[in-house]
Structure 1
Amino acid sequence: MQPFIATMYKVRQAFYAAIIKSLLRTKSLLQTIFNIWISPPVIKGENVDEDGAICGGKVLLLSPFLVDVAKAFEESKKSSVLMALSNGLRDQFGESLLDNPLNMLPSYNHQLPSGDERGTYLALDVGGSTFRIALIELSGRKSESIGTTILKRDSFKITNDVKQLKGMLFFDWMAERMGETLSGQQEGHDMSEVPLSMGMSWSFPIEQTSLRSGLLQGMGKGFLAAHGLLGHDLGDLIQDSCSRKGLNVQLNAIVNDSSATLLSKAYLDQTTRFAVILGTGTNAAVHLPVHIFSPPKFGIRPASWHDSATHVIVNTELSMFGRGILPYTRWDKALIAGHPRPEFQPLEHFVSGGYLGEIVRLILVEGIQTAGLFGGVVPPSLKEPYSLETETLSHIESDISPTLSSAQQLFLSRHPTTHPPTLADMRALRAIASLVSHRACGVLAAGIHALWQLRNDAESITAQSSSHTLVAYNGSVLENYPGFRVSCQKQLDDLVEASGSKKGVIELMYAEESSLLGAAVAVACIDG
């Protein structure tokens, strides 16, 4: 009997090995789980401890819960699904070009930079937590330098006390900070005679009425600057505060963050036609011909603007699209069920840093409660909505070591528990995070592809004849989340090829200091 037992043992080993080899060779659902969940020593054929998927030559069963999660996200990985999403988004974009007052908003920026603009400009970037100021010299795309030089730059934290400043007090605070930055600053500009031309990137809602004007609206995020000033002209408010502080500056352009990103990269590369922001939130801008908009979308503008504008930079408010066509899982439905505005920004719920962590938290808590992950004990902090930050997931996915020790230490430092996660638990968490982030890459790629299709249609460009085009990007998720940009580019390439064009026609390109540089370029385009 002994030879028979030995033979059967070898057969069984060969059988298991064949299964593993097949799974690792295919593009199946289980391969995805293996690639993410099994540690590098397992993939290399080495034995691992009891937390691994193979031990002593035996195959341990994958968690049914992980298989369930992977199946739920598998649909959104299919190119046919992403193409259908892209087509659906393009249709929604087209409808919004006609009468939607909330998105596909034509800005007052109708000029893309030629790259020959030169001069010294003051740039402001007003965000939710930081006020940044820079004195920027533009030297031209073909200059020996890089085309842009930041002569001086300051950053000021917008604390809760600053947010509580009501009305003009907030704009006076801004002017004081500008005075500090400009104190003694004379590079390339005589501050005593000609006003220093200034542009501003404003990350809050306004009803823009000209390139340098807009009616102030509620700012949210704890700011009280609009108190008593709702409907006042933002440009005038800032100009008045600067005048009271004795600053010889002139505000000539106000842009939002996505428009600024497009302008900043277009100054350096003339093939730029799109911009994407992906951090806590998401947005996109695109340069489109004016003829595809219905006249009411432009509001009341001077005849001179219409006479000179053939194209316009469009603030898409991308986050608001996707209603009814996004690939929802039960965890996405749980997220929006507890959201105060569940239908306001559906696409943002799928891709932005403000929500990726929450989706993973919902999945993880279910796995703990139903499948015994983390010893069946939910870490106390994870009982609170939005307590698992996307930044934490970024660090966990960055750890590619066999032991995931740094990921485990980081997780425990932020989410202490009486039942520390085992190696298998950390692999499961990493697998879940990877599935969620990979889907986000695909959804964002579909959104960019939809804008590309929309522009091609508007310009009567076929996919086959479409030329190389840059998509300028910034934002913490695209910049810092491991593998996010690469995965998004890969899925974007697949969509472009499926449309009949060549791989690489649309290229994601980082736009450094885009808010500041874009504000300066917006002014330079006026000065000509």
Structure 2
Amino acid sequence: MGKVAVVCTAAACAAVAVALVVRHRMRSSGKWGRAVAIVKEFEEQCGTPIGKLRQVADAMNVEMHEGLASEGGSKLKMLITYVDNLPSGDEKGVFYALDLGGTNFRTLRVHLGGKEKGVVNLESEKVSIPPHLMTGSSHELFDFVAAKLAKFVSSEPEEFHLPPGRQRELGFTFSFPVRQTSIASGNLIKWTKSFNIEDMVGEDVVGELTKSFDKIGLDMRVAALVNDTVGTVARARFSNQDVVAGVIVGTGTNAAYVESAHAIPKWHGLRPKSRETVINMEWGDFHSSHLPLTEYDQALDAESLNPGEQIFEKIISGMYLGDIVRRVLLKMAEEADFFGDTVPPKLRIPFILRTYHIVVMHHDTSSDLKVVGNKLKDILEINSTSLKMRKIVVQLCDIVATRGARLSAAGIFGILKKIGRDTIKAGEKQKSVVALDGGLFEGYKKFRSSLESTLKELLGDEAAEMIGIEQSNDGSGIGAALLAASHSQYLGVPES
């Protein structure tokens, strides 16, 4: 009897072991199924079929009209830049640029040689801004900037020295929200980034900079106050007169385009110098019920420094794409044990996964996705991942990047529609070019190709032949100098 009992017990143990293995496999299968379901649901919510993209473009078009009709009439600010004289390509001479928009600023000296020579020479210098100047007083900040600019000017080659009585001219890129009052004046609306200089809010930034010039005897005139998107238009127009718009898709995103003066009702009857001017859309703040938002986007927005604002930017720009992927992975870790029985602590840290990490993982072409595995290990301290897990990560990168690229294309299509360049009119052969800049467009090949193919899909083959996309680098630097040249007080004056 004892032996039989032992045998039965052994059999029972084996049965229990088999049952445990089966249960574990079923449990693992169930968890994997839940992980796949989360990804599938996310993909569906991020969907951008062509019909939805057309709705987004139409909504953008409506907001553009309303923003041009009255101040505050739209989520889109549609700011009048007073840039009514874009570069023609004939500009010659030496012009300066000051690019201030973060913890560093740049000074540039640009030698222009007209249509034949283009940008002959470019010299630049980067300067770090001491942290205390970012929260001090306006005169302290601009005195510091003016002193560094004066030192840069002092290194000017003798061949560039101007004749007596002729001022050097500067294009000033100031990448903070400004309400412009002329081509060379504008009042600061609010500081962003790490700046908080209270006495500057509401004041004319060019006026403050000029005061600092006067203190040290720097004989220089600010000929144009611009932002980097308007500079992108100018940089591209210098070499291509078919440019009608500029778009930046990088850490942030924005668009500017050339608008007919008669299509701007809020100009209140003021007659501009020319028939057209550049409009700074501030399109990052665009919002529409047609945008494919997910629970992850809504959570990111709610936890941001500016909830309810910059919705378009938060789903297409480089600042946010990596964190959207992180949020999906976190849900998979919490609800499906995607990375094991415990949630990797680093996965809970906002913005630990940056968009440049996404680019590298998305572009991984190795058979075992080794780069993806290494990134997960280095950034999130996830030491062991299977190939199918890595494929899921790449899939998430693709979903987020594709949505961003296709929505960017829809925005561009909306601009082309507003200015009547989305279709081919009988007998018309006018080509239109959109200049793009920014790290996503420049460095994220899959993003770029998706944007370009989507725009072609929206336009149709015939219209797409008349629309060009070209990269325009350094609108905030060279573009600003070009706008100083095209708005020079010496236009028409022969070079000495």
TM-score category, normalised to shorter length: 0.7 to 0.9
**Equivalences, count:** 454
Q: 1:405 to 1:197 in 2, by over 3 A?
A: same
Summarize the alignment of residues 153-172 of structure 1 with structure 2, pairs less than 5 Å apart. Answer: 153-172=124-143
- State the Cα deviation string for residues 311-334 of structure 1 (Å, max 9, x = none): 110001111113322012232233
Partner residue of 2:109 out of 124, 135, 138: 135
Q: What residue in structure 2 maps to residue 426 of structure 1?
A: 390
TM-score by length of 1: 0.80
Summarize the alignment of residues 168-207 of structure 1 with structure 2, pairs less than 5 Å apart. Answer: 168-191=139-162, 193=164, 194-207=166-179
Q: 1:68 to 1:414 in 2, by over 3 A?
A: closer
Q: C-alpha separation between the residues in 1 aligned to 2:486 and 2:145? A: 25
Q: 1:161 to 1:218 in 2, by over 3 A?
A: same
2:36 corresponds to 1:66: yes
Q: What residue in structure 1 maps to residue 280 of structure 2?
A: 315
Q: What residue in structure 2 maps to residue 475 of structure 1?
A: 438
Check whether the contact 1:171–1:238 (CA below 8 A) recurs between aligned residues.
Answer: yes
SS of residue in 2 equivalent to 1:326: coil
Partner residue of 1:228 out of 185, 189, 199: 199
Measured after TM superposition, the shift of residue 134 of structure 1 is: 0.8
Partner residue of 2:263 out of 272, 292, 302: 292
Q: C-alpha separation between the residues in 2 aligned to 1:509 and 1:463? A: 26
RMSD over aligned CA atoms reads 2.5
- State the Cα deviation string for residues 446-479 of structure 1 (Å, max 9, x = none): 000000000107x997499473221111111111
SS of residue in 2 equivalent to 1:181: helix
Partner residue of 2:473 out of 499, 512, 525: 512
Q: C-alpha separation between the residues in 2 aligned to 1:222 and 1:113? A: 33
Identical amino acids, percent of aligned pairs = 28
Measured after TM superposition, the shift of residue 307 of structure 1 is: 4.8
Unaligned 5+ segments in structure 2 are 1-30, 492-496
Check whether the contact 1:463–1:501 (CA below 8 A) recurs between aligned residues.
Answer: no
Q: C-alpha separation between the residues in 2 aligned to 1:187 and 1:70? A: 65
Q: What residue in structure 1 maps to residue 58 of structure 2?
A: 87
Q: 1:123 to 1:307 in 2, by over 3 A?
A: closer
Summarize the alignment of residues 243-392 of structure 1 with structure 2, pairs less than 5 Å apart. Answer: 243-294=214-265, 297-298=266-267, 306-392=271-357
Give the letter for the 1:239 counterpart.
T
Q: 1:243 to 1:173 in 2, by over 3 A?
A: same
- State the Cα deviation string for residues 393-446 of structure 1 (Å, max 9, x = none): 1111122111222332233222224x5333322221111011110110010000
Check whether the contact 1:134–1:150 (CA below 8 A) recurs between aligned residues.
Answer: no
Give the letter for the 1:444 counterpart.
S
- State the Cα deviation string for residues 172-207 of structure 1 (Å, max 9, x = none): 111121122222313543257322111111101222
Q: 1:149 to 1:512 in 2, by over 3 A?
A: farther
2:88 corresponds to 1:117: no
2:475 corresponds to 1:503: no
Which is higher, the Rg of structure 1 or of structure 2? 2
Check whether the contact 1:278–1:476 (CA below 8 A) recurs between aligned residues.
Answer: yes
2:362 corresponds to 1:405: no
Q: 1:72 to 1:220 in 2, by over 3 A?
A: closer
Check whether the contact 2:101–2:174 (CA below 8 A) recurs between aligned residues.
Answer: yes
Q: 1:464 to 1:100 in 2, by over 3 A?
A: farther
Q: C-alpha separation between the residues in 2 aligned to 1:464 and 1:412? A: 59
Q: C-alpha separation between the residues in 2 aligned to 1:281 and 1:184? A: 34
- State the Cα deviation string for residues 220-248 of structure 1 (Å, max 9, x = none): 22213x33233332112111212222322
Check whether the contact 1:85–1:326 (CA below 8 A) recurs between aligned residues.
Answer: yes
Q: C-alpha separation between the residues in 2 aligned to 1:227 and 1:309? A: 36
Unaligned 5+ segments in structure 1 are 1-60
Check whether the contact 2:48–2:292 (CA below 8 A) recurs between aligned residues.
Answer: no
Summarize the alignment of residues 211-226 of structure 1 with structure 2, pairs less than 5 Å apart. Answer: 211-224=183-196, 226=197
Q: What residue in structure 2 maps to residue 524 of structure 1?
A: 485
Give the letter for the 1:120 counterpart.
V
TM-score by length of 2: 0.85
Check whether the contact 2:32–2:336 (CA below 8 A) recurs between aligned residues.
Answer: no
SS of residue in 1 equivalent to 2:362: helix
